A and B are shown apart, each in its own frame.
Chain A
Amino acid sequence: MRDVLQVSALRTHFFTHAGVVKAVDGVDFTVRKGEVMGLVGESGSGKSITGFSILGLIDPPGRIVDGSIRFNGAEIANAPEPALQKLRGNRIAMIFQDPMMTLNPVLRIDTQMIEAIQAHESVPRQTAWERSRDALGLVGIPSPEERLRAYPHQLSGGMRQRVAIATAFLNRPDLIIADEPTTALDVTIQAQIIHEAQKLTRQTGTAMIWITHDLAVVAGLADHISVMYAGRIVEQGATDDVIDRPLHPYTVGLLGSVPSANKRGQRLYQIEGMTPNMLAMPKGCAFAPRCRAATPDCQTAPPITEVDGRRLRCHYPQVQGAAP
């Protein structure tokens, strides 16, 4: 299938007073048409910044310092603002992390949805309104006409998140970046929304990057998974491969911390230590200080190995069964 997005060697750094924060430091991945790519990692690993980099929404003191982002074959990293503006919300849409903060509190839902259509297409307001209403219906919002007249604070968190999802689909984009769209919601609504999103991608052929810190969420949703740690992708592959045969100790740890039926009764594993200080990154492998398998070799940057369509950044891939 066609590649919608190719990100290679992407580096996005923040030049703060305290020093350079390498929030994204050499990220590669590809997303194909109609495919869902799960981007997984702990808080602060650079997932959101990766998403914002693709949209060209990095504000000073941040900057894309290196790498390439090819969208439908065209280079868009550091592209001129007008070109990016045409893509944003139109060909590439993003659903933000916090549903409470992303909708403008003083504008009605209809205003905020219609403007998203009219920014890219000169259609009559009435047509745009009808499309907004249909989009809300599609994500399972009851009586969408009424909701359109509401202000954001009159909707529940789940409703707002659905509005954001519906808005993302309004212009039938080629790619949607969904940044933890379900973390703020309770489990049943979460499952519902994931279901809706999946249905929509299948129907429209939209590719999707689903950002989350929860491997369990993407396990049933994504075709591919990229595991991110401290600004780098440490492991990448087809979902089933990564879940069933994790190779990187960090992925192993992440999986160990997911509760599941066949581990009932066992103690949940927790990765020891904390995410590294972005201003003082460990030399070599960033995960080494927390890694059980680490040796002095890990003081040097690990090689990138590529086997069976899987990529890995580790000196000591975990062998089957060695998972804690």
Chain B
Amino acid sequence: MSDTIAPETSTPATKVETPFRRFASEFFESRIATVALCLLGLIIVLAVLAPWITPQNPYDLAQVDVMDGRLPPGSEAFAGYTMWLGSDGSGRDLYSAILYGLRISLSVGVASGIIALTIGMAIGLLAAYAGGRTENIIMRVVDLQLSFPAALVALMLVAIMGKGVDKIILALVVAQWAYYARTVRGTALVERNKEYVEAAQCLGLSRLRVVFRHILPNCLAPLIVVGTVQTAHAISLEATLSFLGVGLPQTEPSLGVLIANGFEYMLSGRYWISVFPGLALLLTVVSINLVGDQLRDVLNPRLKK
């Protein structure tokens, strides 16, 4: 995620105060946001490198020993390594399972975020381009959808479509596109009233060019902010659906699936099976949200508190 933050404005290297530098220095003014960004970076690195830094591939049956089941944190596995976070019901090392789970959770969240952003942006731009009746109808639909909570929309869709990675991503996309469309439309309304767009229209530029030259570049910043926060939402939503057993199947064990698997052991005091994946989820979601908050403050001075 962290690399999508950078605005793609490239200025001559001779300039000391590039927009990016100013942006970065403003971003790092907040200590909490800095910590959150570092944490998020670490989480992403861990997730990406999971196969190389875990003692076990938790989904390679040859490597998993049922004898290791439900061991408390710090126990030694049959294979000799220490299970710092304990093991789950079927003997998987939790540390390994969590990193692999993070990979899945992050991929689903980011993939659905990007697709929803693309579709939402396209629809928003279409509305801005078409104007009049079309715009009205599109925005009505957006409003209608936004009057239902995203979680419920996603739940409805999985109820209709069933389980599976593709279906979850589709459900998350449908549940979230409207937020992006609304964001684009908000920018379009502002930009349209600005003088330079009027001037551009006077110059006889085509509407298409107005949309792509003026509205699109200006809605990128708010879209990045909304995108960050919505990705956190998507990850949390996927975990919720998976926890309820209507999200990802056991073959794609995201953090939500891991937490659900540990739930039955919790009442008997084997807290770690649920709690550690939960903490991983928590840190991920909270750090993305904090980064998003700071992005909003930095990218949109008007919204500053």
Direct contact between A and B judged by beta carbons closer than 8 A: no
